[in-house]
Structure 1
Amino acid sequence: MWTVVYIAPNRPVAEMLKELLEKEGILVVLNSLGVPHLGASASVEIRVPESEVEEAHDIITSALG
């Protein structure tokens, strides 16, 4: 089961966090929210496997300060 651990404000932030999580061995799925025509400025859900939620949350919190 995939769980949302963070909603990034835009695609570039989501991609940066995805890269950080994947470097730690965490599987990541990104899911754009809102209307498709917003492109890179649309909010993006960051989802990870339920078993990795706590670790992913810690990594994201550290990265965003």
Structure 2
Amino acid sequence: MWTVIHVAQNSEEKDKIYNALTEQGLLVKVRQIGKGKNGQGIFEILVPQSEVDDACIILTSITY
């Protein structure tokens, strides 16, 4: 089962998180769920439930 671990507010944030997770060998899905105020997309970032703990550790190490 896939679990949402983050909602990115733009494609730059999505790309940064996607790249960080995949570089560490995690499986990642991205799903656009809408458009933000600036006209850019809003994206859900999902990982398999078994990788949620690892993904959260990686997310906390990313500086925005």
Q: Which TM-score applies when normalising by structure 1?
A: 0.84
> d(CA) in 2 for partners of 1:44 and 1:17?
11
SS at 1:26 equivalent:
coil
Count of aligned pairs: 61
Unpaired runs of 5+ residues, structure 1, are none
Structure 1 stretches of 4+ with a deviation exceeding 2 A read none
Structure 2 distance, partners of 1:56, 1:10, is 19
Matches within 5 A, 1:34-53: 34-35=34-35, 38=39, 41-53=40-52
Corresponding position of 1:18: 18
RMSD of aligned Cα (Å): 1.4
State the percentage of identical aligned residues.
Answer: 36
- Secondary structure in structure 1 of the residue aligned to 2:54: helix
Aligned partner of 1:26: which letter? L
Name the SS for the 1:30 alignment partner: strand
Residue 31 of structure 1 aligns to a residue whose secondary structure is: strand
Identify, as 1 or 2, the structure richer in helix: 1
Corresponding residue for 2:2?
Answer: 2
**Partner of residue 60, structure 1:** 59
